[in-house]
């Protein structure tokens, strides 16, 4: 096909008013997308983006350059510390070679940076949210030292084991800490509305509304929704506060006009497989990414597998597991850390107990019946933060309840003692639950431990919270605690139940430390 024929073919397919007509006796296909006047026939659109907006995630270029620089510095520091620790300033030679370990470290630093590039560690799509960025850094480091071990064995190169055993964990740890610090900066910027993709949503009203809520709930992911293309709503109306800018067929024109970075298509969109394919064609050359949101919600990546069959990407969603080796590992880790925590925190326990006793001469510990795994009740321990007759005073305060659903919450609960307010602010009242963890009644991480009256009001779906042990901390604590609505609290707990992994537990415990050390009322610490 000649170049002229290719242009004529494209003009016939992507013209602003073209319609694919069916042959006689067949159902005609849906009209194609409306394209802006600026879209050239050679598939290179004119720059129709908003003033000051950088194309193709250019706003992350500076951030990614900093990551490359900081990674290189961290790697060199780690290898320098390793070489100094193992060999000192002397350039000790590698056995059977003329190369010293300082030279080996320089070559290893270059190889480490290259391995990070090969594992897409500088892909801006994974910056700011999720564990994918950290996983790529870890895998790149693991692959580097695995390759080094295999090559050294193959050519009988005697690399000092102490050098490798220090360089790998030290370098990997410093890389992860450096990435974490950079991510905190990026997250702060994104919560201020900067360094985010401009997103246009496509689909039915209800599904678009769900997408808006989900994306606003996680500003760290860097998706700033500017508008929606919905067939069943008129232009100018709004969905969850987002303006409707056109129909589904207007999506390409509106995307170019608004300077969109990402077009997100929900599972309810009426495009069909052929329409999605044509949409991908129409976006060629516009530097706009196409994202398809499947109709499954609150399912984490480890449970999702994609298997292409004849060009059809089938999504396999694995069932959650509530038994097996990982659960045994979790139980052992819980009890081990609980025992160590009780020993390490014993001086703090004595100081808190003395403060409570001197405050009002009442009991130090407060035990309350809670519901654990499979509906079994247990007595949960806490440092007492309320007056001794708090339970009997509750009915008189029910009219002032600020919580939703079956939960009772008051921001200024008059039953809380002076020392109790301090303990609650820094979550110190929760530490006696380490005893519950040691007994096997609770876990370090899990759903919020519910009261029997709350469980009595559970719907069938909500009862899935009881499939695992309740936790001292969990998704609810790092995402707002008392400020959460009942529905949001249930959603977060069910997400944890369905998607638990050891890595998720570690992430929650890490973020819990940040919430506890820097409490405020916005985090629900009251």
Give the span between the Cα atoms of 203 and 295, in whole angstroms: 11
Give the span between the Cα atoms of 471 and 475, in whole angstroms: 10
φ, ψ at 410 (rounded to 5°): -135, 130
DSSP letters for 257-321: HTT-SEEEEETT-TTHHHHHHHHHHHTTTTT-EEEEE-S--S--GGGEEEEEETTEEEEEEPPP-
Give the span between the Cα atoms of 444 and 455, in whole angstroms: 21
pTM higher than 0.85: no
Pick from 467, 352, 361, 458: nearest CA to 407: 458
For the chain, what's the residue count?
A: 526
Q: Please return the burial class of 310, using the count of CB atoms within 10 Å of its CB with bins 0-12, 13-18 and 19+.
A: exposed
pLDDT digits (tens, 9 = 90+) for 247-281: 888 888 888 888 888 998 886 666 767 777 888 88
Strands 377-383 and 365-371: antiparallel
In this structure, what DSSP letter does residue 236 have?
Answer: T
pLDDT digits (tens, 9 = 90+) for 96-132: 666 777 888 889 999 999 999 999 999 888 888 878 8
pLDDT digits (tens, 9 = 90+) for 360-419: 888 899 999 999 998 999 999 999 988 888 777 788 787 777 666 677 777 778 888 888
pLDDT digits (tens, 9 = 90+) for 15-36: 333 333 333 343 344 445 666 6
Contacts of residue 340, Cβ cutoff 8 Å, sequence gap at least 6: none
Structural domains of the chain sorted by starting position, each given as residue range(s) with its CATH number in brackets: 58-191 (no CATH), 197-295 (3.40.50.20), 325-523 (no CATH)
Least confident of 180-189, 198-207, 407-416: 407-416
φ, ψ at 446 (rounded to 5°): 175, -175
Give the span between the Cα atoms of 423 and 421, in whole angstroms: 6
The answer, yes or no, to whether residue 216 has pLDDT greater than 80, is yes
Helix (H, G, I), strand (E, B) or coil at 223: strand
Q: Please return the burial class of 487, using the count of CB atoms within 10 Å of its CB with bins 0-12, 13-18 and 19+.
A: exposed
Least confident of 30-34, 229-233, 448-452: 30-34
């Amino acid at each position: 096909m000649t170049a002229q024929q290719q242009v004529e073919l494209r003009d016939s397919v992507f013209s602003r008013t073209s319609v694919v007509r069916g042959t006689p006796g067949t159902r005609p296909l849906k009209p194609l997308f409306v394209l802006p006047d600026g879209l050239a026939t050679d598939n290179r659109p004119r720059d129709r983006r908003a003033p000051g907006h950088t194309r193709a995630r250019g706003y992350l270029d500076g951030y990614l350059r900093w990551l490359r620089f900081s990674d290189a510095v961290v790697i060199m520091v780690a290898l320098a510390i390793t070489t100094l620790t193992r060999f000192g300033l002397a350039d000790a030679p590698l056995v059977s070679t003329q190369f010293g370990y300082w030279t080996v470290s320089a070559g290893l630093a270059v190889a480490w940076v290259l391995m990070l590039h090969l594992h897409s560690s500088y892909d801006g799509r994974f910056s700011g949210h999720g564990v994918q960025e950290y996983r790529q850094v870890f895998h790149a480091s693991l692959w580097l030292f695995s390759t080094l071990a295999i090559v050294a064995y193959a050519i009988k190169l005697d690399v000092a084991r102490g050098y490798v055993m220090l360089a790998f964990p030290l370098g990997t740890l410093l890389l992860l800490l450096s990435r974490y610090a950079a991510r905190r900066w990026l997250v702060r910027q994104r919560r201020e509305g900067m360094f985010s993709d401009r997103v246009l949503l496509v689909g039915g009203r209800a599904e678009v509304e769900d997408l808006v809520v989900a994306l606003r709930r996680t500003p760290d992911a860097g998706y700033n929704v500017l508008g929606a293309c919905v067939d069943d709503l008129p232009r100018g109306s709004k969905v969850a506060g987002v303006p409707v800018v056109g129909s589904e067929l207007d999506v390409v024109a509106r995307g170019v006009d608004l300077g969109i970075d990402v077009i997100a298509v929900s599972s309810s969109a009426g495009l069909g497989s052929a329409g999605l394919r044509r949409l991908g064609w129409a976006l060629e050359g516009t530097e706009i990414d196409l994202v398809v949101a499947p109709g499954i919600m609150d399912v984490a990546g480890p449970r999702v597998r994609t298997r292409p069959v004849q060009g059809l990407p089938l999504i396999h969603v694995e069932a959650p597991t509530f038994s097996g080796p990982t659960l045994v590992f979790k139980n052992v880790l819980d009890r081990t850390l609980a025992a160590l925590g009780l020993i390490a925190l014993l001086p703090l326990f004595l100081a808190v107990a003395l403060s409570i006793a001197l405050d009002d001469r009442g009991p130090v510990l407060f035990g309350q019946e809670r519901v654990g795994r499979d509906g079994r009740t247990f007595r949960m321990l806490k440092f007492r933060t309320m007056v001794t007759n708090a339970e009997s005073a509750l009915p008189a305060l029910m009219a002032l309840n600020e919580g939703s659903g079956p939960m009772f919450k008051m921001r200024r609960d008059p039953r809380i003692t002076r020392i109790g307010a301090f303990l609650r602010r820094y979550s110190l009242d929760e530490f006696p639950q380490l005893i519950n963890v040691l007994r096997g009644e609770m876990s370090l991480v899990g759903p919020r431990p519910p009261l029997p009256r709350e469980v009595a009001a559970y719907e069938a779906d909500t009862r899935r919270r009881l499939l695992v042990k309740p936790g001292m901390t969990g998704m609810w604590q790092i995402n707002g605690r008392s400020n959460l609505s009942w529905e949001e609290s249930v959603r977060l707990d069910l997400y944890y139940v369905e998607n638990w992994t050891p890595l998720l537990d570690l992430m929650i415990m890490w973020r819990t430390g940040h919430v506890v050390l820097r409490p405020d009322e916005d985090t629900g610490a009251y």
